[in-house]
Amino acid sequence: MAGITYEIDDKTIVEQIKSDAANAAAELIEAAHLKKGSIVVIGCSTSETIGNQVGSHSVPEVGKAIFDGLQSKFSSCGIYIAAQCCEHLNRAIIIEHEAVPNAEIVNVVPQPKAGGSFATACYANFKNPVALEHIKADAGLDIGGTLIGMHLKEVAVPVRLKQNHIGKAILIAARTRPKFIGGERAHYDESLKDGYPL
């Protein structure tokens, strides 16, 4: 079973998943005040997206549909996708090299059953993909309960999106904000309560 991937016969399902992803990206851009250069970590189970248990039904065309939907909104705003690989690659990140020019890269090429179909689609469609072991993203989308917290900046704040599913997978979104430090005598920049400086 480890090498098996699956296909979807009903292409309207794939188009709906792509649309769901685009809607979620558009909502997150607004809710998290994302700007050019922001990085959004995406954890994605294509198995969950089509109604199966995580890790059981890797579907490359669904991974590509989610990538296309997200990228249709993020790319035009100059926002980078950081694709979180599955546990078999220790949740490594696939990202455009220009987003992280000074990061320490590692050598791995994701596959549908070792990295995941979404990360594989990102690697195939980025201009110059690289793999990293760690990143601290500005926001995130967790599609199907893949646990993206390890790749978010502190402090992560939940974001409730109207688009709360992609396909059949539960969608959980997050943004980040700078830590408040200093206690009762401290003064804070109110413009940073909801995110990072524009």
Give 144-179 pLDDT, tens digit per residue: 999 999 999 999 999 999 999 999 999 999 999 999
Alpha carbon distance 49, 143 (integer Å):
8
Question: By three-state DSSP, how is residue 84 classified?
Answer: strand
Give 98-139 pLDDT, tens digit per residue: 999 999 999 999 999 899 999 999 999 999 999 999 999 999
pLDDT for residue 3 is more than 70: no
**Average pLDDT rounded to a whole number, residues 182-194:** 81
Q: Which two tokens stand for residue 103?
A: 């990061």
Alpha carbon distance 38, 76 (integer Å):
12
pLDDT for residue 4 is more than 70: no
**Average pLDDT rounded to a whole number, residues 9-31:** 94
Predicted confidence at residue 92, as pLDDT, reads 98
Question: Using CA of residue 101, residue 102, residue 107, residue 109, what is the dihedral sign?
Answer: negative
Band the pLDDT of 186: cuts 50, 70, 90. confident
pTM of the model: 0.90
Lowest-confidence pick of 51-60, 134-143, 159-168, 180-189: 51-60
Domain boundaries, the chain: 11-171
Alpha carbon distance 185, 198 (integer Å):
26
Domain 11-171: give its CATH code: 3.40.50.10360
Lowest-confidence pick of 65-79, 155-169, 179-193: 179-193
Predicted confidence at residue 183, as pLDDT, reads 80
Cβ–Cβ under 8 Å, residues 134 and 99: no
Q: Which two tokens stand for residue 90?
A: 């220790």
